[in-house]
Amino acid sequence: MAYAETTFTNRSRVVLGMHIDTQLLEPDQIIESDVCIIGAGPAGTTSAQEFLDSDLRVTLLESGGLEYNPRAQQLSSGEISGDLYEPMEDTHLRQVGGTANHWIIKMADKEFGYRYAPLNDVDFKPRAAVPNSGWPITRKELEPYYQRAHTACEIGPFRYQAGSWDKQGFETLDVEEKGLVNNYFAFGPTRVFTKTIPEKIAGSKNVNLYYNATVVELLCHADSDKVSCAKVRTFDGKETLFKAQYFILAGGGYQTARLLLASNRQKSNGLGNEHDVVGRYYMDHSLSPSGNFYPHDLKLINRLGVYDMRLIDGASILGKLGFTEKTLEEQQLLNFTATVFPMPKARDVDALKALRSIAIDLKGRRFPKHLLRNAYKGLLGGKHLMHVLFQLLIHGAPIMPGFGQGGWSKTHDNHKKFERLELLAFVEQSPMPDNRVTLSNEKDELGMPKLKAHYKWREQDLKSISKAGKLMGQALSATNLGRFVPAGDGNNPVIGSLGLHHIMGTTRMGNDPATSVVDKHCKVHSLDNLYIASSSVFTTGGYANPTLTILALALRVTDTVKTRVTAGEVSFQNQQEVLEAVT
């Protein structure tokens, strides 16, 4: 497509901050700003917020719309192989606010939110048990950005260690001398990314959010080490070039790698891919039921409210169990943490599930054959059902404790409702170069190559998960408070979910360009003005949900870019270079 010189010459400066539907723009425009952020999920919106009310002109580009659009979502479809089974398009959202629109954990203050935790110190270090491990930065270097991320997310105080929160009269399991540690997840509201920050941008003077703006290619001049512009294409075939001094890729682990690989006009292997590293070292987090702890005295459950979601000092927190750094190193384990949820008897669980199934059938006015069978199961657990429904109505206590909703510790007769404590573990995956994403021969509706994702379990990872579950069970049994029964056969781990949609590692951070894509400042090694604020830069994943670390890195990147652009280190490429880059 030809971009006439008059388009460039007559272009207006970016208008005052607002939300702009890219589909309504005149075709073949070149829009200029100081900084262009690609992706309006948590990382992109957080970065954009840092520029509000500054003298810098910023554009924030989002492939999706203000609301969910299945047509835009389908642009994320791709091929999967190996042990992967979930469709690629189900792992993230193309929409303003990004995947935060899927966060529906009911926090202690009744808002919908999401689970946060920082990476541990050990996650940044080289570890014998984790191949290709070791970040080029330390946890200490990231600490001030973690603090700022907490403020940005409205999470509350930055406190995650045992003893850092008032226990409200509850106890923790006595495992501190047995290689385990009690610590916490924190929770923050979804609306920060889906409503609060987008509304601030709508009223800003210097930041524009362009939605329905799918970036299909990053363009460079043939002899330049700088990105010239981002090419946006809409469903009606119109194209717009967004030109900036600096670019920040703030998408997820799939789409960030995809954009670099697809930007192969000037560099045949894609941008930043001189050493065939882009797309490699693909990781996620897995969910593994470790087993069940049966207390000798069920009244113990009444005293373990630390492991429930509670509101303290304005923050929603949830206690959990993990391993000390010493144990991880000595036992050669991947990082591993487990939540502790009280569970009713198996018959009562069946009754609750049956009741839910009946409700779904009746709501849909369906009367399948299994309706009577489920009704019978419900009757078998009738006593328990009546009790938990009463607690739900009076105290708001959940029928079945889990990640979606806390509150079970509000009542004082949990020993009558529950018989065991279920341990559900979040586990790390090793960064392996053969687990990777590559471009497919198939293209999406906008003409951009789709992705192929391949992941295969490493045998040592499965052994580590199994070993960690056993060690945690042994530590609990050593308290003499009950007995631990491992999940499955006790020798092979039960994998509840291979991936939690935490796509990491595909543009990893490092000092050596031969084994990494970005440097310790998250700048692409071979490009002077392209930064990445994404889980894709993670060198290892630890066990923690990646969002808090993503936001800390996004804030760090934003500070770097602000400093550089204010100092005028990079000037705009001239008109002719931009036009040559797209022809």
Per-residue pLDDT of 442-491, as tens digits, reads: 999 999 999 999 999 999 999 999 999 999 999 999 999 999 999 988 78
Grouping H, G, I as helix, E, B as strand and the rest as coil, residue 269 is coil
Q: Identify whether 85 is part of a domain.
A: yes
- Residue 53: CB atoms within 10 A of its CB come to 11
Give the domain extent around 51.
Answer: 23-101+192-282+433-455+503-581
Looking at the domain assignment, is residue 272 inside a domain?
yes
| Structure token digits, residue 267 | 């560099």
Least confident of 100-114, 179-193, 249-263, 264-278: 100-114
433 in the Ramachandran plot: left (φ > 0), alpha (ψ -120 to 50) or beta?
alpha
Tell me, yes or no, whether 232 lies in a domain: yes
Does the pLDDT value for residue 348 go beyond 60?
no
* Residue 108, strand partner residues: none
Beta bridge partners of 214: 233
Question: Distance between CA 28 and CA 200 in Å, rounded?
Answer: 29
**What is the chain's Cα-based Rg?**
25
Which two three-digit tokens encode residue 202?
């709508």
Q: What residues have CB less than 8 Å from 548, skipping those under 6 apart? A: 116, 117, 118, 146, 149, 150, 153
| 3 — pLDDT class (breaks 50, 70, 90) | very low
Strand intervals (E) in 467-575: 482-486, 530-532
One-letter amino acid for residue 133 of the chain: S
Length of the chain: 583
**Per-residue pLDDT, 372:** 46
**Residue 378 resides in a domain:** no
- pLDDT classification of 580: cutoffs 50, 70, 90: low
Phi, psi for residue 52 in degrees, rounded to 5:
-55, 140
Q: DSSP letters along 184-212, please?
A: EEEEEETHIIIIIHHHHHHT-SSEEEEES
Q: Is the pLDDT of residue 526 over 60?
A: yes
pLDDT at position 156 = 87
pLDDT at 393: 44
Q: Is 375 helix (H, G, I), strand (E, B) or coil?
A: helix
Q: For residue 283, count other CB atoms closer than 10 A to its CB.
A: 26
2 in a structural domain: no
Inform me whether the pLDDT recorded for 246 exceeds 80.
Answer: yes
Whether the per-residue pLDDT at 577 is higher than 80: the answer is no
The overall average pLDDT reported for the chain is 88
Residue 82 binned pLDDT confidence (cut-offs 50, 70, 90): very high
Question: Predicted confidence band at 506 (pLDDT cuts at 50, 70, 90)?
Answer: very high
The verdict on residue 145 lying in a domain is: no
Residues 309-330: tens digit of each pLDDT: 999 888 899 999 999 999 999 9
Residue 557 Cα distances to 71, 132, 161, angstroms:
32, 24, 27
Please check whether residue 17 lies inside any domain of the structure: no
> In this predicted model, what pLDDT tens digit does every residue of 179-194 receive, in sequence order?
999 999 999 999 999 9
Residue whose C-alpha is closest to residue 572's, from 54, 221, 209? 221
Q: For position 222, what pLDDT does the model report?
A: 76
State the DSSP H helix or E strand holding residue 378, giving kind and residue range, or none if neither: helix 370-380
Q: Give 34-78 as a DSSP string.
A: EEEEE--SHHHHHHHHHHTTSSS-EEEE-SSBSS--HHHHGGG--
Contacts of 169 (CB under 8 A, 6+ apart): none
Model confidence pLDDT, tens digit, residues 388-426 = 454 444 445 555 566 667 788 887 788 888 999 999 999
Domain count, the chain: 1
* pLDDT value at residue 223: 78
What is the percent of the chain with per-residue pLDDT over 70, rounded to a whole number? 84
Cβ atoms of residues 493 and 123 within 8 Å: no
pLDDT for the residue numbered 484: 97
Percent of the chain with pLDDT over 90: 74
Predicted confidence at residue 182, as pLDDT, reads 95
pTM of the entire structure?
Answer: 0.89
pLDDT at 162 over 80: no
267: CATH: 3.50.50.60
pLDDT tens by residue, 14-73: 344 689 999 999 999 999 999 999 999 999 999 999 999 999 999 999 999 999 999 999
Neighbours of 274 (CB within 10 A): 15
User: 254 is written with which tokens?
Assistant: 């799939």
The whole-angstrom separation of Cα 351 and Cα 332 is: 41
- φ/ψ of 46, rounded to 5, equals -65, -45
**In this structure, is residue 340 part of a structural domain?**
no
How do residues 123-161 score in pLDDT, each as one tens digit? 999 999 999 999 999 999 999 999 999 999 999 889 998
As a whole number, mean pLDDT of residues 531-559 equals: 99
